């Protein structure tokens, strides 16, 4: 019972309390770019969720095998492999969606949500917990995209999932499908989710720069000289 409760907690945290977009403020570029329509938003959310779950499982299973010094390149190779598979499936079965997502589909490889979960969770936890964490974060990411795209498409295009809404289609507010409208809706949703989190005693989401990044510790060690580049190691003969 305790294990089931713990797994449910890992799953549910990514939906509201630690929503990757509206709470952790990660993946904002694909979020703003693909939410002009519900169809493209759901496609991006589903693709990212599949990559999240699959990469978390593999990285967790190999966490004791992957050397610490090369874990980030190894994570990227795993993620890129699943992104390639997903991209090929999308091209084969839904070419229209592939055209809508464009470059943002292959760019899932460098999506900070996926790499962040690999570094912060999958690389340190068992396979089942990592799979549940990836699924929860994927659902939270998809939910955020769906909410944003619904508001933007309804108000900006007068339609929902491509179906015209008679009262709005004749005079839509086009600004909502433009970048300023995306930022406006993004800010409103962040305010709502912040309010929900505060009601549960959680802090507000803030843009805190590098310290909020899961890779901050590694970068800090490198900048302080704790991680020495290969050309600076002791005993190496200089090329000069």
pLDDT digits (tens, 9 = 90+) for 143-158: 999 999 999 999 999 9
CA distances from 72 to 117, 215, 231 (A): 12, 9, 20
Residues whose CB is less than 8 angstroms from the CB of residue 64 and which lie 6 or more positions away in sequence, other chains included = none
Number of independent structural domains in the chain: 1
User: Sign of the C-alpha dihedral, residues 140, 143, 147, 148?
Assistant: positive
Band of pLDDT at residue 186, cut at 50, 70 and 90 = very high
Considering the domain boundaries, does residue 51 fall inside one? yes
143 within a domain of the structure (yes/no)? yes
Residue 237 covered by a domain: no
Percent of the chain with pLDDT over 90: 57
* % of the chain beyond a pLDDT of 70: 82
Report the greatest alpha carbon distance in the chain: 75
Q: Answer yes or no: is 2 within a domain.
A: no
Examine residue 24 and state whether it is found in any structural domain, yes or no. Answer: yes
88: pLDDT strictly greater than 80 = yes
Give the range of the structural domain holding residue 141, as residue numbers without chain letter. 7-163+174-227
| Domain contains 239 | no
Whether 191 maps to a domain, the answer reads yes
* Structure confidence at residue 209 (pLDDT): 52
In a domain, 1, yes or no: no
pTM confidence score: 0.81
């Amino acid at each position: 019972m305790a294990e089931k409760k713990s797994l449910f907690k890992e799953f549910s945290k990514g939906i509201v309390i630690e929503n990757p977009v509206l709470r952790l403020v990660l993946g904002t570029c694909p979020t703003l770019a693909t939410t002009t329509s519900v169809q493209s938003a759901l496609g991006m959310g589903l693709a990212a969720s599949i990559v999240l779950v699959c990469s978390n499982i593999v990285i967790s299973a190999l966490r004791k095998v992957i050397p610490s010094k090369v874990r980030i390149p190894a994570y990227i190779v795993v993620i890129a492999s699943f992104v390639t598979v997903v991209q090929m499936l999308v091209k084969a079965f839904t070419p229209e969606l592939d055209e809508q997502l464009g470059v943002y589909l292959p760019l899932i490889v460098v999506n900070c949500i996926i790499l962040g979960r690999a570094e912060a969770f999958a690389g340190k936890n068992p396979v089942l917990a990592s799979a549940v964490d990836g699924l929860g974060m994927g659902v939270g990411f998809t939910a955020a995209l769906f909410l944003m795209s619904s508001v933007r498409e309804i108000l900006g295009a007068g339609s929902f999932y491509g179906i015209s809404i008679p009262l709005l289609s004749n005079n839509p507010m086009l600004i909502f499908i433009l970048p300023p409208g995306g930022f406006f809706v993004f800010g409103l949703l962040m305010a709502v989710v912040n309010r929900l989190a505060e009601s549960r005693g959680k802090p507000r989401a803030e843009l805190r720069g590098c310290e909020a990044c899961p890779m901050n510790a590694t970068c800090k060690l490198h900048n302080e000289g704790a991680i020495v580049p290969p050309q600076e190691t002791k005993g190496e003969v200089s090329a000069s």
